[in-house]
Structure 1
Amino acid sequence: MGIYGNGTDAMEGILNYKPDLVIMDIGLPDISGVECIRTLKPLVEDVKFMVCTVFEDDDNIFEALKAGASSYMVKRSKSYQITDALLEMHNGDMPISSCIATKLLNYLPQEDEEKPEEKDYTITKQEANILGLLAKGYTNQDIADTIVIKITTLKWHIYNIFFKMKVKNRIEAINKYFG
């Protein structure tokens, strides 16, 4: 629907056309893509934003996701990976580049040993299904093939499971969920 050379023009175009999906870079000449998303998201809640950028640093990743990005892809991704990610976004998933998924998993907070274990997390049906397959010893690829999602989407689901349950790995997640 449109290609814009700066954030100001992009915001105007997105507000006028209200597309389903937007591919947004972070490094725009006037204002950052993250600021565009932060400003636009409350005004066009149904629009899904994919950040597609060269930036792989933690600050940009987390700021973009907090601002309302539905996806974070790096420009060095293969064209089919970006196309697949757009289709996944359209279907309601939150695809991210595998290098970003690794960063997110490594960023999980360390659980305080002295705190009592909390069980106030909510696991979706999809996440429960994934935990069940993890418990059966399925690999990431086996799980992705079984539930018919892309591997990057699966990694995002696993990240969400770990984050919600405040665990660091699959074994902890399985033990906590089924224990």
Structure 2
Amino acid sequence: MIHTPNIVIIDIKLKMLSGIDLINQIKTLLPDTQFLICTGYQNDEHVFSALKAGASGYIVKGASYLEIQNAIVELYNGGAPMSPYIARKVIGMLQQKTDENKFGLSHRELEVLSSLSEGLLYKEISEKLNISQNTVKNHCKNIYKRLHVQNKIEALNKFAQYNFNGFLLESNINLAN
């Protein structure tokens, strides 16, 4: 008789693969097992990727023994334990305004993407938006990462397809160029 765990505590950073990838791989094999993320990573991408993969709770390292114990008990009893900071991120994501889209691009990233679609260079975008060229580059890196693309052309094509399919309701992005 094989016993499956009720709860697995897992970190995001593992030696061979990420905890998120591990959850994705074994969630279907252990459908009744609850996964509790216990990690030092607190950025949006890790939090939401872990929850989307199937984690039922997310606490940050540095939590006290009692907090971890309470999280395990809460998870076992059907709850979804989260460190307060993580819970605030989740609530914030659920309360996002309509200037966000399914890729999680911020209003400023949408402005940068719009400027790219107009054929503007980083320097021109920097001047137009009154931000540094390094900030423009950082926004572009974030855009490419969130859209899962490698360059400006792929980003504009993917976003144009997304916009064309009617998913983005409010956007001033002109992708005709």
Interval of TM-score (by shorter of Structure 1 and Structure 2) = 0.5 to 0.7
Question: Aligned match of 2:72 in 62, 83, 86?
Answer: 86
Q: Secondary structure at the match of 1:104?
A: helix
Distance 1:17 1:62, change over 3 A: same
Q: Secondary structure at the match of 2:32?
A: coil
Q: Which amino acid aligns with 1:61?
A: V
After TM superposition, give the deviation of residue 112 of structure 1 in Å: 4.6
Which string of whole-angstrom CA distances, capped at 9 and with x for unpartnered residues, describes residues 28-87 of structure 1?
011001101011111110000000000001000000000000100001111111100000
Question: Aligned match of 2:63 in 77, 87, 91?
Answer: 77
Q: Which amino acid aligns with 2:30?
A: V
Query: What's 1:57 paired with?
Result: 43
Question: Aligned match of 1:31 in 2, 17, 40?
Answer: 17
Query: What's 1:47 paired with?
Result: 33
Number of residue pairs the alignment of both structures matches: 98
Distance 1:110 1:28, change over 3 A: closer
After TM superposition, give the deviation of residue 109 of structure 1 in Å: 4.4
Query: What's 2:6 paired with?
Result: 20
Question: Aligned match of 1:103 in 67, 89, 103?
Answer: 89
What are structure 2's unaligned runs of at least 5 residues? 100-177
Q: Secondary structure at the match of 1:49?
A: strand
After TM superposition, give the deviation of residue 111 of structure 1 in Å: 4.7
Q: Secondary structure at the match of 1:28?
A: coil
Matches for 1:135-154 after TM superposition, within 5 Å: none
Counterpart CA distance in 2 for 1:35 and 1:87 is 25
Q: Secondary structure at the match of 2:50?
A: helix
Distance 1:111 1:42, change over 3 A: same
Counterpart CA distance in 2 for 1:26 and 1:111 is 29
Q: Which amino acid aligns with 2:66?
A: Y
Counterpart CA distance in 2 for 1:108 and 1:61 is 13
After TM superposition, give the deviation of residue 108 of structure 1 in Å: 2.5
Which string of whole-angstrom CA distances, capped at 9 and with x for unpartnered residues, describes residues 124-162 of structure 1?
xxxxxxxxxxxxxxxxxxxxxxxxxxxxxxxxxxxxxxx
Structural RMSD (CA) = 1.7
Q: Which amino acid aligns with 2:19?
A: G
Counterpart CA distance in 2 for 1:53 and 1:68 is 15
What are structure 1's unaligned runs of at least 5 residues? 1-15, 114-179
Query: What's 1:160 paired with?
Result: none
Distance 1:90 1:44, change over 3 A: same
